Structure 1
Amino acid sequence: MKVYISADIEGVTGVTHWDETEKTRADHKEFAHQVTLEVKAACEGTIKGGADEIWIKDAHDSGRNIDHNLLPKNTKLIRGWSGHIFSMVQELDETFDAAIFVGYHSSGGTNTNPLSHTMNTQADYIKLNGEIISEFLIHAYIASYLKVPVVFLSGDLGICDEAKRINEHIMTIPVKEGIGNSTINIHPQLAIDLIKNGVEKSLKRNLYLCNIELPEEFELEVRYREHAIAYRRSSYPNVEQIGPKTIRFTSKDYMEVLKAIEFLV
């Protein structure tokens, strides 16, 4: 079995402030270690679930947060950013049996994590077909496009609730809850235990119950924090500016939507 893991940091237990997420800040070291341990737990659960090949994308900020020395030897770690439109699931393809997301967070435009955002902080929100979307859904749709089931997600309670609305069969482990500018976190060791056990269970079920159905067509809407950004982005092909800070793009091909997101967000 070949499994893909994408790891972010804003959904890791304990992470509350931007200083804890940025490599150049002193606070980052502690939480880079925690995301490594949560990914390690996911890897161990994956191995117990039957996997013999594991690929991991370090998908936060610089892409240089995870200590590979602490992970099992049958892992390949993708560091940095290639520039490919698959972004946080770079190198994912049809050869994988399952996709797993660790440390993911609520989307921009929601209030369930003090660090809520989608891709970056220059947009108030990104909507797809009228619904606010997260980094998780953007990349889960890539897995769906490739026919790879999304079996597991850990992160804040808001993103876990979103995943359950998308497909109730996705195993979710909420490790924190955002309240205003604060977080309520479970113990780091408990998070590790729950992730390990949850991943193992997720891989021992009928994986294809976790397939996510793609819409037949897509309407992408982005509202920026600054009107000048919306004006500039409105020059992208087939983009319409529908408000002082808002643009819209439509397509029937999800790959075209991904290309648009790459350049519009």
Structure 2
Amino acid sequence: MKIFICADIEGTAGITHWDEAKCRSPDERGNPDYIEFREYMTDEVVAACEGARAAGASEIVVRDAHSMGRNLILAKLPDYVRIMRSWSGHPDLMMFGLDASFAAALYTGYHSKAGTDTNPLAHTMSGTVSRLLINGEVESEYTLSALCAARYGVPSAFLSGDAGMCADAKVLVPAIGTVATSEGFGPATSSLTPKAAVAAIRDGVEAALSRDLSACLPKLADSFELVVEYTTPDKAYNVSWYPGVEHVAARTLRFKATDFFDILRAVRFII
């Protein structure tokens, strides 16, 4: 059994402030809050690896998908893991490295979508986006990831992150296993401790993979309408020249396609 784990940080247990998710600059990772929380991010990934291994995984690929894609502490990862780091520019975005050979996709540290109040760090891809909609539904980074996986026939079996993200994940994939690491209250959070989150993720992943995964494969629509609402009109104008994009309002672009890959490719260039 071959497993793909996509790791983010804003849904890691305890995380509450952007200082805990950001380095000081793209080339310097010296922020002490970030240094602490990349440890917790890594520990949650290791727990997911251990759970997958206990469920029978023979191969595990971990995708470091937060910020610059160079967050996980590699020395902590098990020796049976292969790690994907940084950004290739491929339209599969956070899921680059996935293909049809994988039995399941897992997600750790995932966070609520832009505009929600269940995580102080809620966003979708970029701070320039106020809402991202697919076929009329406001979506998250998880939606893009799970539908990307579905293109390859790979089910989404497990997700850990804030309570709002866990609830949203079950809307798209009702059978997905989840562990809610925290809950947001304005700028505050109520959270599991890192140790408790690690134990819950390990057990949750093992349980999620020790069952029939066919119910965890979302059905792709026959066609897709992507609508992106930006926080400012200048951003919408600047990227409105992407082929096929309609500039339907001052802050809003629309793009239609029949293949979800084309949606991902548009997101790659307009966000």
TM-score range relative to shorter protein: over 0.9
In the aligned structure 2, how far is the partner of 1:228 from the partner of 1:72? 45
Unaligned runs of 5+ in 1: none
Aligned residues with identical type, % of pairs? 43
Name which of 235, 239, 261 aligns with 1:233: 239
Q: Is the 8 A contact 1:23 1:65 kept in 2?
A: no
Provide Cα deviations, 1:145-182, integer angstroms capped at 9, x if missing partner: 10001100000011100111112210011000011111
Q: After alignment, is 27-36 or 105-114 more displaced?
A: 105-114
Structure 2 residue ranges without an equivalent (≥5): 25-30
> Which residue pairs with 2:28 in the alignment?
none
Q: Which residue of 1 aligns with 2:184?
A: 178
Q: How does 1:144-223 map to 2 (within 5 A)?
A: 144-223=150-229
**Range that drifts further, 248-257 or 19-28:** 19-28
1:166 counterpart letter in structure 2? L
1:74 aligns with 2:80: yes
> How far did residue 26 of structure 1 move?
2.0
Partner of 1:10: 10
Which deviations, in whole Å up to 9, do the C-alpha atoms of 1:5-49 show, x marking residues without a partner? 000000001111111111232210110000000000000000000
Within 5 Å, which residues of 2 pair with 1:18-37?
A: 18-24=18-24, 25-37=31-43
Partner Cα distance (1:60, 1:248) in 2: 26
Whether contact under 8 Å (1:163, 1:170) holds in the other structure is yes
Shifted more, 208-217 versus 150-159: the winner is: 208-217
Q: Distance in 2 between matches of 1:137 and 1:71?
A: 27
Secondary structure of residue in 1 paired with 2:248: strand
Distance 1:65 1:233 in 2: 29
Moved more, 237-246 or 137-146: 237-246
Tell me which amino acid in the other structure corresponds to 1:33: E
Count of matched residue pairs: 265
Shift of 1:233: 1.8
Q: Shift in Å at residue 241 of structure 1?
A: 1.3
Distance 1:105 1:68 in 2: 23
Which amino acid in structure 2 is aligned with residue 9 of structure 1? I
CA contact (8 A) 2:7 2:62 kept: yes
TM-score w.r.t. structure 2 length?
Answer: 0.96
CA displacement, residues 193-215 of structure 1 (integer Å, 9 cap, x when unaligned): 00000000011100111111111
Residue 69 of structure 2 corresponds to 63
Q: Which residue matches 1:111?
A: 117
Deviation by residue 1:194-253 (Cα, 9 ceiling, x = unmatched):
000000001110011111111111110111111111122221111111111111111111
Deviates more, 1:19-28 or 1:220-229: 19-28
Alpha-carbon distance in structure 1 between the residues aligned to 2:192 and 2:65? 23
- Provide the TM-score with structure 1 as the length reference: 0.98
Distance 1:262 1:14 in 2: 30
Letter in 2 for 1:14: G
